[in-house]
Structure formats: C-alpha cells, structure tokens
Amino acid sequence: MFRITLIVTVLAAPSVALAQQAETPEPEQAVVATAACTADEVHALVEQMTDVSASVEDRWAAEDELLLCDPRLVLPELLEHVDKGMPKGGIWNSGGRELDKDAPIEWQSHYAVSRVWRRATHGLGDRNEQSAFLINLLPAAGPRAQARLLNSAMWTTHTEVAAECQLTDPNAASLVKVTSWKLLTQHRIDGCHELAVRALRQTNEAPLRSFWIGTIFEDRRVHRTECDPRVVEVAFDSIDALSIQNLALYIGVDLPGESLEQRRSAALAWWADNKERIQAEAAEWDARPQARGTRDAFKDLAEGKLAIRTWGMPPTWEFDARKMMQQRLGFTYEGAYCMTTEEMQAYDDAYNLIMESAIRRKHGPDWKDQVAAIREEAKERWNKDFGMGEVDPAPPKK
C-alpha cells in the first residue's frame, strides 16, 4: 500500500506536515496515566517500542505500557524519534496497528511513535498546561520535532509567542520557520508577511522553498492578501517544483492550454512579458516601511544591538531607567521625542516584533516584568533625589 501524491513529490521527506498526514487517526480523549513509571523505565519502553529487532508482540506491549505512563516523562523521550521524520522510500499508508503488521518495521515504529505522541499530548491537562509543556520542550528538540511540538500545542499565548520567537530567530531551521508562519497566519496574527518573504529568499532547499511558496499562495487564497511581486520572482525561479495552477491563481492570470506543459509554457511567456515590471514592483515593496523595519532589525541583531523603538516624550526618570536597562539587560528603548506617523509606526512595529522576540529568547517570557521593576526603581530613586516623594492622599471630607 503506497500513497503517491503531488505534495509528496514536492515536499519529500523533510516535511513534518506529511508525517502528520500519515498518522493513524486516534480517539481524541485524554489518557489518564495509571502506571507509576520512572524516567528510566519510560526510556527503556521507548527503546523497546522502536527496536526493529524486537518482535511485534514486544513492541506492542511497550506501546501499550507507554500509554499508561506520565506523558511528561514520555514526550521528551519521543523527541529523538519524532525528529527522524518518515522512513525513506515509498509511503506506507497506515490502516491501524493490526494491519500495520505487514508494513516495513521502520514504518511500524514510525506509526507507533505517532500514536503514543498523540495520546500523550492529550493527557497533559487543559490547553494552557498542554501548550506550556510542549513549548518548553522546544530547546531540546531538533527541527522536525520542533515543528511537531508547535503543531501539537493548543493555540494559546504560549504557542503564539513561541511561533513568533521561532519565526524571528535567525538561527531557526527553515522548516520550523515555515511551520511557525503557517500557524500564525492560520490564526490571523498580523505583521509576519515580511518574515515569510525573508525566510523564503534565504531558503536554498528546493522542497522547503516550494513549501514556503505554497503556504504563501494558500494565505493569499484564504485571506485575500496582496500578490507580493517578491514572491512572484522567487516562484518563477522555482517553477519546475510548483503547481502551475496555484501560481496562476496567485498572480491572477488565466493560463491557456489543456496540458501541464502548455500551461507551463504560457506561464513562462507571461513571465518574459512582465519580468521587468515585477522586478520594479519588488524593489518598491522592499522600500516599504515594514520591509525596512524588518531588514534593519535583523541587521542590528547581527551587530549585537538590542533595542525597542518608541516615540513621544517620556517622563524624566525614564532616561535613568533606560540606562539601567542597558547595563542590566543589554537592551534599551530608543526613538523620536515627537508624534509618530503611520509610516514610522509601521516601521517600528516590524522592527519591534523581531527585537521583542530576541529579548524574550535572551531574558525569558517575564522580560516585561523585569523592565517594569527597573522603571519602578528608577522612578523611586528620582523621587527620592529630587524630593518629590509620594503624593499625599486627599484630606478626609468633613
């Protein structure tokens, strides 16, 4: 039993999305841990379940036992196996554990890991507990496992923040970035398009580049976003790996021809006629404030600078607070002491999205609380030094 589709040809083995599509459907109910397994016992059970030399009975017994263990012990042990992705070669379409006995052992192991993973994530508690636990595993996971963690987490503030951090991290794998961006667009989180274009341009692997383009095409179809000429440029560089129909929908043209080759020829003819116009429009998009803010933020990060842009005249003690932030936390607030314009705000929003994520990666999720504490300390010092003190309460009414 093999499943060969166009998306398999395009994305190949690196895609976690395919691995998820190939999972065996399981009941959604949570499994309550009833076995008092230790971490060492869980490790041994995972090894037995994935041991290609073990009998099918032993592997099934280990799988059944793992379903009863504490998911907080089970999930970290599965990260290494999830990160392997799907076995190479043709795809075995699972029909359930009983029918998988005829599958290659590597595929039996792959689906066993997927079944235990799914049931364990359902046993983590409410959505906030589940997402917080899974997101905390990200630093210990490889790219495929990181993508699976993001996709498995319920959509909460934890997940949104983690996806933004991964998408804005210059060192994050492209697969993790595209997974993060897809999640953010699905939940209509604004301000991420420039990050997608930047990651697309930096992606050299053909399958992942095609995946990036496909998700951007899908975002335009679902959310009616603009046609970005920079994406069109990259798309025609990768036209051999793309769906011609999706490309036609993205650029908004009707490509004539009955066969795929005829439509491909029509697409290339359209590109020859419109290439100079598209390239000129791409340069205009790169000059937009959102693009400049994104570009400048990554440039500053590469040079070791951390700063959040702001505007308006701050209170006097804020200047001392900013010096203290720079000394203690390695970043500060900076900006113009005037009213802002729409263009300035768009630039600052794009810049700050990247900078705030970098600060969060460095100082943790409570970095704003640390800033608030420094500001309060600076305010108290200033009031003490200049004799302002606390404002006396209003006298009681007679």
By the 10 Å C-beta count (0-12 exposed, 13-18 middle, 19+ buried), 242 is classed as buried
Torsion sign over Cα 136, 142, 145, 147: positive
pLDDT in tens, 219-258: 888 888 899 999 999 999 888 767 888 888 899 998 888 8
Kindly state the average pLDDT of the residues 290-316.
93
- Residue 308 CA to residue 59 CA, distance in Å, equals 53
Distance CA 261, CA 256 (A): 11
Please tell me the predicted confidence (pLDDT) of residue 157: 86
**Residue 112 pLDDT greater than 60, yes or no:** yes
Q: What is the average pLDDT across 182-211? A: 86
> For residue 33, which of 121, 115, 109 has the smallest C-alpha distance?
121
Read off the DSSP letter of residue 365: T
Q: Is 35's pLDDT higher than 70?
A: no
* Mean pLDDT, range 90-107, rounded to an integer: 83
Closest CA to 324 of 378, 361, 370: 378
Task: Give dist(CA 46, CA 48) in Å, integer.
Answer: 5
Identify the H or E element spanning 68.
none
Q: Which amino acid is at 185?
A: T
What dihedral angle (degrees, nearest 10) is formed by the CA atoms of 220, 221, 222, 225? 30
Its pTM stands at 0.76
**69 pLDDT more than 60:** yes
Residue in this structure with the two tokens 């006396």, named with its chain if needed: 392
Is there a contact between 285 and 327 (Cβ–Cβ < 8 Å)? no
- The H or E element containing residue 307 is strand 307-311
Phi-psi region of 125 (alpha: psi -120 to 50; beta: other; left: phi over 0): left
Helix or strand run (H / E) with residue 217: helix 206-223
Backbone region of residue 155 per phi and psi (left: phi > 0; alpha: psi in -120 to 50; beta: other values): beta
pLDDT of residue 9: 29
pLDDT for 206 equals 82
- Give the number of other Cβ atoms within 10 Å of residue 223's Cβ: 10
**Cα(236)–Cα(273) distance, integer angstroms:** 13
Rounded CA separation 115/310 (Å)? 48
- Of residues 300 and 220, more confidence is placed in 300
Query: Comparing C-alpha atoms, which of 269, 360, 240, 242 is closest to residue 308?
Result: 360
pLDDT of residue 14: 40
Q: What is the pLDDT of residue 397?
A: 52
Give the tens place of pLDDT for each residue, 340-364.
789 999 999 999 999 999 999 999 9
- Number of Cβ atoms within 10 Å of the Cβ of 170: 13
Q: How many helices (H) and strands (E) in the chain?
A: 19, 2
Encoded tokens for 119? 């049931």
Position 163 scores a pLDDT of 93
> How long is the chain?
398
Tens digits of residue pLDDT in 126-159? 888 899 999 999 999 999 999 999 999 988 888 9
Model confidence at 383: pLDDT above 70: yes
What is the percentage of the chain residues whose pLDDT exceeds 70? 88
Q: Which residues contact 334 (CB under 8 A, 6 or more apart)?
A: 307, 308, 309, 310, 322
**Average predicted confidence (pLDDT) for the chain:** 85
Q: In this structure, are residues 141 and 83 in contact, taking their beta carbons and an 8 Å threshold?
A: yes
The residue among 76 and 22 whose pLDDT is bigger is 76
More confident of the two residues 26 and 230: 230
